[in-house]
Amino acid sequence: RIDPTCKTCSSSHLRISSQATGKTSQIFLNVGTDLPGGKGYNGFDNLTGGQELTYSTEPIIFGDRAVQIRDWRIRQVRFDLLSVTNENGNVSRIYRSDGTVRGNAKEWGGYVIEDLGEPTCAYLTSSFLQLGDWRFGEIDGHLSVTHKSGQTAMIYREDGTIHLGPRTDFNAWTLVDDEVLAGTKEGCDVGAPAAAAPSVSPPPMSTNGMRHA
């Protein structure tokens, strides 16, 4: 599950959690950094909501190849880049189509263009969340982040560990594109998103605490 750590605070962090093990693989901090997870801060603790991949006590809003989860925005900012951004402008994660990841580069943030845009190619099924050319997909109990080109940039395992790409296994694009539970498939055959970003790619980030496997 991808959800905020606090549903009533003025600002929150964002976490990725497993229901099966009760462990959290990643916590994205609103200061633009991230922490490895563990047993605490699990997104399924003390919740009365459903079992969806995303959750918030406030409505989840879909936009132009983007989704807003309370004070966080996950957005395809360019055909090859997906960013996880807090509303304060800090970017906690950038996934690249070559299977690598980057850190806090605010020029690639999901709020560079403030308007979320009309819902376009942003939808949730029973097994994945698709945002443009990217999918967060559940495979064998793990959450995989994969670009349409076939490169998996990150795997958030149910045991609470994180495994880096680039890799071609755990490809979320192999999942069946079944019934849309929320959002829309409209516009998925269109090219790059409207949210343009600078032409220079973000710098590499440290891989401390992450595993290659």
Average pLDDT over residues 65-76: 94
Tell me the per-residue pLDDT of 24-38, one tens digit each, with 9 for 90 and over: 888 888 888 786 765
pTM confidence score: 0.80
Q: With helix as H, strand as E and coil as C, how does 10-26 read?
A: CCCCEEEECCCCCCEEE
Does 160 or 122 have the greater pLDDT score?
A: 122
With H, G, I as helix, E, B as strand and everything else as coil, classify residue 108.
helix
- Beta-bridge partners for 91: 85
d(CA 160, CA 182): 27
| 77 within 8 A of 110, measured Cβ to Cβ | yes
Strand partners, 171: none
Q: Supply the pLDDT for residue 148.
A: 97
User: CA-CA distances (angstroms) from residue 62 to 22, 70, 72, 77, 173?
Assistant: 27, 11, 12, 14, 20
Q: Could you give the 3-state DSSP secondary structure of residue 106?
A: helix
Residue that has been written with the tokens 């109990």 in this structure = 141
**Binning pLDDT at 50, 70 and 90, where does residue 19 land?**
confident
Q: Determine if the peptide bond prior to 166 is cis (ω within 30°).
A: yes
Reduced to 3 states (helix: H, G, I; strand: E, B; else coil), residue 211 is strand
**Does pLDDT of 164 surpass 60?**
yes
Residue 155, pLDDT score: 96
Evaluated on CA atoms 99, 38, 44, 73, the torsion sign reads negative
What are φ and ψ of residue 23, in 5° steps?
-110, 150
**Single-letter amino acid code for the residue at 44:** F
187, two tokens? 């516009």
Report the alpha-carbon distance of residue 180 to residue 149 in Å, rounded.
22
pLDDT of the residue at 105 = 87
Contacts of 33 (CB under 8 A, 6+ apart): 92, 103, 104
Sheet-wide strand order for 122-124: 182-184, 122-124, 128-131, 134-139, 142-147, 152-156, 162-167, 211-212
